[in-house]
Amino acid sequence: MLGALLPSAGVLALFVVVVRKMISADRDERAAQARLEAAERRAERERTTAAEERGAEQQ
């Protein structure tokens, strides 16, 4: 009886491991994307501030 359930339990364990890895990879990718977008927003703010300062100096 137990021998009949062993292959199914093995497939279930493999499925759980694969799904957990996929979720972890997705979480890591989303975090990296958020860091990249934050850096881009920060750089854009710095460019805008620098341009405004140059404009104020010329007046």
Tell me: the pLDDT tens digits for 2-59? 889 999 999 999 999 999 999 999 999 999 999 999 999 999 999 988 878 777 776 6
Per-residue confidence (pLDDT) for residue 2, from 0 to 100: 84
Residue 44 is predicted with a pLDDT of 94
- Cα(51)–Cα(36) distance, rounded to whole angstroms? 23
pLDDT of residue 32: 98
> Among positive and negative, which fits the CA dihedral 11, 15, 17, 18?
positive
For the chain, the straight-line distance linking the first and the last C-alpha, in angstroms and rounded, comes to 88
Give the model's pLDDT for residue 5.
93
* Residues contacting 20, CB < 8 A, separation 6+: none
| Residue (of 52, 55, 2) closest to 10 by Cα position | 2
